[in-house]
Chains A and B, each alone.
Chain A
């Protein structure tokens, strides 16, 4: 059972453009939604995260939009740069107080390529 669905599988964006990656989740008990960036041969690294009582969070060029009623959230990368070329994973977890222990359920990933 895939609890977090991610799209698109791959994405090509021109330098300076906006990259948009979408995720949908099923478990309404999830209370933490992070995005991870992974370069080849490296482990995932946290990019930005949001909790469900907030509809948007912005950090630099990265923005998460969150729609609780639709159970969807998305990552927007503004002014995309070649150095942003990587695989991006959305994830979701439940905190300790709801028995989740913060174990992450990941989406299937999006390979982003930013072209010059």
Chain B
């Protein structure tokens, strides 16, 4: 079965440009998470969806960042007016659900490496 896929694998853009990063979760997984991983650091939570709605967007660094999941499957992370500090690997993960009494395994995609020049 297919795992989590992310496109593009690499994205180079110029400061001030708009970018979209796509995540295709594992089929049937209702929960979808976005994380950002800077060089030499652990992933940091950005936002998660349960179904179509953003259940928690507390990790988004500012209003330049936005994410959608209109049909409860594919998600797109959108970054406006990119800055050099946005350069990082953006990881997407999915799990069967975000609910339950304790943790559900999150399956990560390979990430999109964003470089802002």
Contacts and interface: CB of A to CB of B under 8 A. Distances in A.
A51 B102 contact: yes
Contacts of A93: 103
Interface residues of B, number: 33
Given A45-B108, A46-B106, A49-B103, A103 B43 contact: no
Contacts of B72: none
Interface in A14-32: 31-32
A92 B91 CA distance: 17
Contacts of B33: 103-104
Interface in A23-68: 31-32, 34, 36, 41-46, 49, 51
A101 B103 contact: no
A96 B42 contact: no
Q: How large is the interface on A (under 10, 10 to 19, 20 to 34, 35 or more residues)?
A: 20 to 34
Given A45-B108, A107-B42, 19 more contacts: A31-B102, A41-B110, A42-B110, A43-B110, A43-B111, A44-B43, A44-B91, A51-B102, A96-B97, A96-B100, A101-B48, A101-B56, A102-B104, A103-B33, A103-B45, A103-B48, A103-B59, A104-B33, A104-B43
Interface of B: 4, 31, 33, 35, 40-45, 48, 50, 55-56, 59, 91, 93, 95, 97-111
